[in-house]
Structure 1
Amino acid sequence: MSEVAKALRERRANVWEQAKALADKAADENRNFSGEEESTWTALNSELDALDKRIKSVLEGEQRAKDAEDAMSKLRGEPRGKSTGPGNPGAEELRKFLTGDGPRFFDVRPQGPVNFRALSKATGGAGGNTVPTSFYDRLVAHLIETSSILDAGATILNTSSGEALEIPKTTAHSSAAIVAEAGTIGSSDPAFGMVTLGAYKYGNLIKVSRELVTDTGVDLEGYLAMQTGRALGNAFGAHAITGDGSAKPRGIITDATAGATGPTGVTGGFGSQSTVGQGADLLIDLFHSVISPYRKSAACQWMMADATAGTIRKIKTSEGQYIWQPSVVVGQPDTILGKPVLTDPNVPAIGLGNESVIFGDFSQYFVRMAGGIRFERSEDFAFDSDMVTFRALMRADAALVDLTGAVKTFTGGAS
Structure 2
Amino acid sequence: MSEYIRRLKERRANIWEQTKELLDAAEKRGSEDSKLTAEEEATYQRLNADLDAIDARAKELHEAEQRTKDAAAAFRSLLDQEPAPEARKGAAKGEADRVRAWLTGQSGSRSLDIRPDSPMPLDSRALSKLTAAAGANTVPISFYNRLVQHMIENSGVLATGPTVLRTATGEQMQIPKTTAHSASAGIVAEAGAMTPNEPAFGQVALDAYKYGFLLQVSHELANDTAVDLLGYLAMQAGRALGNGFGAHLVTGTGTSQPNGVLTASTLGKAGATGVVGAASGDDLIDLFYSVIAPYRNSSSCSWLMRDATVASVRKLKDGSGGAGTGNYLWQPGLQAGTPDSILGKPLYTDPNMPAAALSAKSILFGDFSTYFVRQVESLRFERSDDYAFNTDLITYRAILRGDGDQVDTTGAIKYFAGAAT
Which TM-score tier does this pair reach, normalised by the shorter chain? 0.7 to 0.9
What SS is found at the alignment partner of 1:253? helix
- Matched with 1:66 is 68
Tell whether 2:395 aligns with 1:383.
no
Per-residue deviation, 1:89 = 5.8
Per-residue deviation, 1:344 = 1.1
Alignment of 1:310-389 (within 5 A): 310-318=311-319, 319-389=325-395
What SS is found at the alignment partner of 1:87? helix
Alignment of 1:194-209 (within 5 A): 194-209=203-218
Q: 1-side partners of 2:326 and 2:71: how far apart? A: 50
- Matched with 2:21 is none
Q: Is the 8 A contact 1:63 1:124 kept in 2?
A: no
What SS is found at the alignment partner of 1:331? coil
Deviations 1:228-260 (A, max 9, x none): 112111111111111101211000011100000
Cα 1:69/1:184, change in 2 over 3 Å: closer
What SS is found at the alignment partner of 1:178? coil
Alignment of 1:203-352 (within 5 A): 203-270=212-279, 279-318=280-319, 319-352=325-358
Q: Is the 8 A contact 2:257 2:403 kept in 1?
A: yes
Q: Is the 8 A contact 1:203 1:392 kept in 2?
A: yes
Cα 1:120/1:350, change in 2 over 3 Å: farther
- Matched with 2:399 is 393
What SS is found at the alignment partner of 1:248? coil
Q: 1-side partners of 2:417 and 2:248: how far apart? A: 19
- Matched with 1:151 is 159
Cα 1:189/1:122, change in 2 over 3 Å: farther
Q: 1-side partners of 2:154 and 2:127: how far apart? A: 19
Tell whether 2:139 aligns with 1:138.
no
Tell whether 2:95 aligns with 1:95.
no
- Matched with 1:34 is none
What amino acid is the match of 2:311? G
Q: Is the 8 A contact 1:379 1:388 kept in 2?
A: yes
Cα 1:366/1:378, change in 2 over 3 Å: same
Q: Is the 8 A contact 2:277 2:360 kept in 1?
A: yes
RMSD: 3.2
Q: 1-side partners of 2:384 and 2:296: how far apart? A: 49
Per-residue deviation, 1:181 = 4.9
Deviations 1:198-235 (A, max 9, x none): 11111121111212212334432232222211211111
Most deviating of 316-325 and 401-410: 316-325
Per-residue deviation, 1:381 = 2.4
Q: 2-side partners of 1:400 and 1:240: how far apart? A: 10
Q: Is the 8 A contact 1:357 1:410 kept in 2?
A: yes
Unaligned runs of 5+ in 1: 1-60, 71-78, 113-118, 126-131, 271-278
Cα 1:65/1:379, change in 2 over 3 Å: farther
Q: Is the 8 A contact 2:71 2:127 kept in 1?
A: no
Q: 1-side partners of 2:90 and 2:308: how far apart? A: 43
Q: Is the 8 A contact 1:355 1:411 kept in 2?
A: yes
Per-residue deviation, 1:407 = 0.2
Per-residue deviation, 1:290 = 0.8
- Matched with 2:420 is 414
Deviations 1:111-168 (A, max 9, x none): 18xxxxxx7642269xxxxxx9532223212222221111110110000111111112
Larger Rg: 2
What amino acid is the match of 1:340? P
Q: Is the 8 A contact 1:327 1:335 kept in 2?
A: yes
Q: 2-side partners of 1:68 and 1:108: how far apart? A: 29
Kindly report structure 1 stretches of 4+ aligned residues shifted beyond 4 Å.
61-65, 67-70, 79-86
Per-residue deviation, 1:94 = 2.2
Q: 1-side partners of 2:70 and 2:220: how far apart? A: 20
Most deviating of 380-389 and 308-317: 380-389
What SS is found at the alignment partner of 2:402? strand
Q: 2-side partners of 1:304 and 1:381: how far apart? A: 41
Tell whether 2:125 aligns with 1:122.
yes
- Matched with 1:175 is 183
Q: 2-side partners of 1:63 and 1:306: how far apart? A: 33
Most deviating of 316-325 and 181-190: 181-190
Q: 1-side partners of 2:339 and 2:92: how far apart? A: 34
TM-score, normalisation: structure 2:
0.71
Q: 2-side partners of 1:141 and 1:293: how far apart? A: 30
Determine what percentage of the aligned residue pairs are the same residue: 50
Unaligned runs of 5+ in 2: 1-62, 73-83, 129-139, 320-324
What amino acid is the match of 1:167? I
Q: Is the 8 A contact 1:166 1:197 kept in 2?
A: yes
Per-residue deviation, 1:92 = 3.6
Per-residue deviation, 1:85 = 6.7
What SS is found at the alignment partner of 2:359? coil
What amino acid is the match of 1:308? T
Q: Is the 8 A contact 1:268 1:350 kept in 2?
A: yes
Cα 1:215/1:178, change in 2 over 3 Å: same
What SS is found at the alignment partner of 1:229? helix
Q: 2-side partners of 1:190 and 1:212: how far apart? A: 61
